Amino acid sequence: MRQTTIWAALLGVEKTVIEGVEFDGDAETLVVRVRPRRRSSSRCGVCGRRCPGYDQGEGRRRWRALDLGTFRTFLEGDGRRVSCRVHGVVVAHVPWARHDTRHTLAFDDMTAWLAARTTKSTLEQLLRVAWRTVGAIVTRVVADGVAVRDPLVGLRRIGIDEISYKRGHRYITIVVDHDSRRLVWAAPGRDKITLGRFFGRPGP
């Protein structure tokens, strides 16, 4: 097995060329230089269409990846921009991260998974990331999931409840699917107006 293949597997990336790896023992960081494979390059970061190049954008940029051992790990690549006929000038798609973010797909997905299963302090210490950043990551991971599978499709039986937080002074209304036992919808508040936002979504 080639060394680049091993690195790709360790980093959890696909359609990506590993150009080099740099260790900084003093800072305990690892920087992996990457670029998209030819078929994945020069594409709109929003819709994925192949587009003509526009400029170099911000130049080289870094994406936070999952730690490897005790080393904080980053992917480093070009931040080129392309000109999409639909979305205009945007940062080009990269196969290792969601559009216009600073974290890899693997980092995003692991953060969202842990946010649903562990405490705030544990997550912050384990991934060495601020809680505000966690919220932004969870938002985009959930948006990706909804784009793939609409939670309202096939919904027949629901349960509605409220959860208090901030020492019981604030509430979130939640709707769950009784058949799949999955969360369908949630929003701050616990009144008719809040719940009306949910019932306005499914349509007739």
Average pLDDT, the chain: 88
Pairing of strands 29-36, 16-24: antiparallel
As a whole number, mean pLDDT of residues 145-171 equals 79
* Residue 118 within a domain: yes
- Clarify whether residues 7 and 102 are in a common domain: yes
- Clarify whether residues 102 and 173 are in a common domain: no
* 17: pLDDT strictly greater than 80: yes
* 63: pLDDT strictly greater than 60: yes
* 141: pLDDT strictly greater than 80: yes
Task: Write the CA distances from 10 to 36, 57, 122, 123, 191, integer angstroms.
Answer: 17, 28, 23, 21, 47
- Clarify whether residues 74 and 133 are in a common domain: yes
pLDDT at 162: 87
Q: Is 21 exposed, middle or buried (0-12, 13-18, 19+ CB in 10 A)?
A: middle
Of the two residues 127 and 143, the one the predictor is more confident about is 127
Q: Please, what is the Cα angle at 181 between 179 and 193, to 5 degrees?
A: 95
- Clarify whether residues 8 and 81 are in a common domain: yes
Whether the model pTM is above 0.85: no
Q: How many domains does the chain have?
A: 2
What residues make up the domain containing 83?
Answer: 3-148
* 32: pLDDT strictly greater than 70: yes
pLDDT at 182: 80
- Clarify whether residues 10 and 28 are in a common domain: yes
What's the N-to-C CA distance of the chain in angstroms? 56
* 202: pLDDT strictly greater than 70: no
As a whole number, mean pLDDT of residues 180-184 equals 81
pLDDT at 26: 80
pLDDT band with cut points at 50, 70 and 90 for residue 147: low
The percent of residues above 90 in pLDDT, for the chain, comes to: 48
* 154: pLDDT strictly greater than 90: no
